[in-house]
Structure 1
Amino acid sequence: MICEDKEVLASMIEEARTYTGYGQLADYIPALREADPSVLSLAIYDGGETCAAVGNVDETFTLQSISKVLSLALALMDQGEEEVFSRVGMEPTGDPFNSIIKLETNQPNKPLNPMINAGALAVTSMISGETPDHKLGRLLTFIHELTGNPEIRYDEKVAESELKTAHLNRSLSYFMKQHGVFDDDVEDLLDLYTKQCAIEVSCQDLAKIGYVIANEGKHVFSKRPIIPLHIARILKTFMVTCGMYNASGEFAIRVGIPAKSGVSGGIMASIPHGLGIGIYGPALDDRGNSIAGMKLLESLSHRYDLSIF
C-alpha cells in the first residue's frame, strides 16, 4: 500500500522538508559544507523495482556512519562473533558518537558498541585483507553485491577532507591501540576508515541495502543469502539500540524501525521481513541525524504502522 501512495509520500516529503531550516550541515567535515540543506529525498524498496522514489533520489552522498553497519557485517563474517565482541561491546550509550570518556572509564577499555566512532574504528581493523586498499576493495565489492550497483566508489575529496580533520578519531585510535583493542598502524586504519565513510551512494542504493538486512540477508535479485541470518539479526538489533546515536531511545519510541544515520544526512531503515528505506536530507539536528529525515520516518511509521514494537 505504501508504494501506491505516491501523492501522499510527496506530500509527506514537503511537510518534512519544512524542518530543514532548523538544521545545520556537518561543517566540521569541510567537504560536507557544500551540500544543499534544503534537499530531502526518499526511496523505498520492496525487492523488485524501487517501489517509491520521491525527490532527487539519484543524487549521491557519502555513507559516513551508515558504513558502520556494513563494516560490522563484513568483520563478523571474517572473524566471527566471539572475536569481534571480545574487542567491541554490545551496549547502547547516551554519550555522543565521538566521545572518548567511556573508553577511559570502562574496564576493560573497549568501545561500548560498533555504532560509535571508537567501536567502528575497532571493527574496521578486523576486516580481513593484506593491505588497507585490499580491505577497502573487499568492502566495496560487498556493497556492490548488496546493491547490485558495481559503479559505487568512494569520494576522494570527502575522504581527504575527513582525514585532514580526523584529530578526535586519531586520538580514539591511539588510545585503543595503547590498550590492545587492535594492533594496526593508526594512520593506515584512519586512511581506510575515512575512505569507508566516504563511499558514495544514492537513496535507491541505501533502500536496497536496507532491504537485504530487513529480509534475512538475502540478495535483492537472486534471493540467495549474502549476509548470514544471525548476522542480519545482529545488525538490525544494533540499528534499533544504537543506530541513531544518542537519540536511539527516543527514535525507538517515536518511530520503532531499525535504522542507521550518517552525518552526511543519509538514513537507512530496515523493516524486518519488509521494506528497505533510504533517505537523504543533509540538514542535521544537534545529535547528528537528518532533522527532516527523522520527521519523515516518524510520519511514515505512524501512517503505515511500521513500528516493530
Structure 2
Amino acid sequence: MQDILNDILQTNKKYANYGQVATYIPELKKARRDDLGICIIDKENKIYAVGDYEKKFTIQSISKSIVLAMALMDNEWEYVFSKVGMEPSGDPFNSIMKLETNDTKKPCNPMINAGAIVTTSLIKGDSPQEKEERMLEFFRRITKNNNIGINYDVYKSEKISGDRNRAMAYLLKNDGFINGNIEEVLDLYFKQCSIEVDALDLARIGLHLATYGIDVENGERIISENVCRMVKTFMVTCGMYDASGEFAIKVGIPAKSGVGGGIMASVPNKMGIGVYGPALDKKGNSIAGTKMLEDLGKKVQINIF
C-alpha cells in the first residue's frame, strides 16, 4: 500500500497546477497550492501515508458530516429531517435559491451550507459554550487527537466574510427551520468549519464511519450503526458538492470534501482515507486529491458498488 500511495502522489502532483486555493474566505488564501498528501488507516489500524499528510488545515465543510452525526445522536432522526431534507440539490454548496423556490423551503440536505447551519442548530447544550465544548470533544474522540482545536484566525475571517451564510440563516429562522439565537448558531457554525486537522485526523474519522462507529483499538462504540449508515449515504449522494454523482461513478465511495482542501473518505469495513490538497476545482473539491482517489480506486478495490 505504501508503494501504491507513493506512486499515486507523484503521478497526480501536476494537477494542483490546474486548481486554485479558496479565496472567498480571506484567511484561506494563505494555503500553498502545491501541497498534497494522503493517509489511509485500515481496519487493522495500520497507517499508510505520504506527502503533506501532517500539514494542518481547517476542516471546513467536512465538519458537516460529523455535526450531522451529532445532531442525529442528540435528536430523533424524524425531527432532524423535519428541518432538513434528504435529497441532492444539484446546486453549488452555498446556493440560496432553493430556500425560496422549492415547495417546502427546507434545505435540500445537510451537506450544503443551509442544511448544515440547521444541523448545527440542533446540537444540544444549555449554552453556546457547552455546545462548543461538546462539539470539540466529539471531534477529539473520533480523531483520537486531544489537540484538536479551532483556528481562530480562520474563524474570524469566516465570521467577517460570512454574510451569505448569515442571509441563509435568517431566512431559515423566518421559515421555522431554526430556533434560538441566529448569531449564536452562526458563531458555532463558523467555529466548526475552522477546526484544524490534518489528513491523519480525517482518515481516523473515515475509519470510524467505515467500522460503523466502532473504535478499532478498543472496541468502544462512539457512533451508532444507523447514524453511520445515514451519514455515509449523504456522503455518497451529496458529499462532493454538485460533483457527487460524477465522483460516485468514478470512485464509488462515501466522501466529503471541504474548501480548505481536505477530503474525508470511508470504505465500509475496510479503511478510512484522508486527503489534503488545497488547489480546488471550480466546484470546490481538491483537484489533485480527487485524482488521487480515482487512481487509488483503479489500483485497490474500494468501490462499494
Q: TM range, normalised to the smaller chain? A: over 0.9
Matches within 5 A, 1:2-151: 5-151=1-147
Which of 151, 155, 161 pairs up with 2:151?
A: 155
Whether 1:268 aligns to 2:269 is no
> How far apart, CA to CA, are the structure 2 residues paired with 1:50 and 1:39?
24
Report the Cα distance in structure 1 between the residues aligned to 2:145 and 2:268, rounded to whole angstroms.
23
- 1:253 is aligned, of 249, 254, 262, to 249
Contact 2:23 2:29 in 1 (8 A): yes
Paired residue secondary structure (1:208): helix
Q: For the residues of structure 1 that align with 2:293 and 2:15, how far apart are their CA atoms?
A: 13
1:241 and 1:153 mapped to 2: Cα distance? 29
Note the aligned Cα RMSD (angstroms): 0.9
- How many Å separate the matches in 1 of 2:251 and 2:279? 19
- Determine if contact 1:24/1:285 at 8 Å carries over to the other structure: yes
Q: CA offset at residue 56 of structure 1?
A: 2.2
- Alignment check: 8 A CA contact 2:60 2:192 kept: yes
Match of 2:236 among 221, 234, 240: 240
Distance (whole Å) between structure 1 residues aligned to residue 117 and residue 46 of structure 2: 32
TM-score scaled by length of structure 2: 0.98
Q: For residue 219 of structure 2, what is the amino acid of its counterpart?
A: K
Question: Which shifted more, 181-190 or 108-117?
Answer: 181-190
Task: Select between 141-150 and 256-265 the one with higher mean Cα deviation.
Answer: 141-150
Correspondences of 1:220-239 after superposition (within 5 Å): 220-239=216-235
Alignment TM-score, normalising by the size of structure 1: 0.97
Q: Which residue pairs with 1:181 in the alignment?
A: 177
Greater than 6 Å deviation, 4+ residue runs: none
Which SS does the other structure have where 1:289 is aligned? coil
Say whether residues 1:287 and 2:283 are aligned partners.
Answer: yes
Measured in 2, the distance between the counterparts of 1:56 and 1:248 equals 25
Structure 1 unaligned regions, length at least 5: none
Question: 8 Å contact 1:133–1:192 — kept in the other structure?
Answer: no
CA drift at 1:17: 1.1
**Consecutive unaligned residues in structure 2, runs of 5 or more:** none
Question: What one-letter code is carried by the residue in structure 1 that aligns with 2:87?
Answer: E
Deviation at 1:50, TM superposition (A): 4.5
Q: Residues of 2 paired with 1:80 and 1:23: CA distance?
A: 41
Equivalent AA in structure 2 for residue 69 of structure 1: S
8 Å contact 2:89–2:242 — kept in the other structure?
A: yes
User: Alpha-carbon deviations, 1:69-118, whole Å to 9, x = none?
Assistant: 00000000001201100000000111000001111011211100000000
Are residues 1:218 and 2:214 paired? yes
Amino acid paired to 2:262: G
Q: 2:301 and 2:264 mapped to 1: Cα distance?
A: 18
2:302 matched residue in structure 1: 306
How far off is 1:305 after superposition?
Answer: 2.1
> How far does the alpha carbon of each residue in 1:254-288 deviate from its partner, in whole angstroms, 9 at most, with x for none?
11010000000000000011100000000000000
Task: Find the residue that maps to 1:200 and give its secondary structure.
Answer: strand
Tell me how far 1:302 sits from its aligned partner. Answer: 1.3
Aligned pair count reads: 305
CA distance in 2, matches of 1:189, 1:178: 14
Q: Secondary structure of 1:45's partner?
A: strand
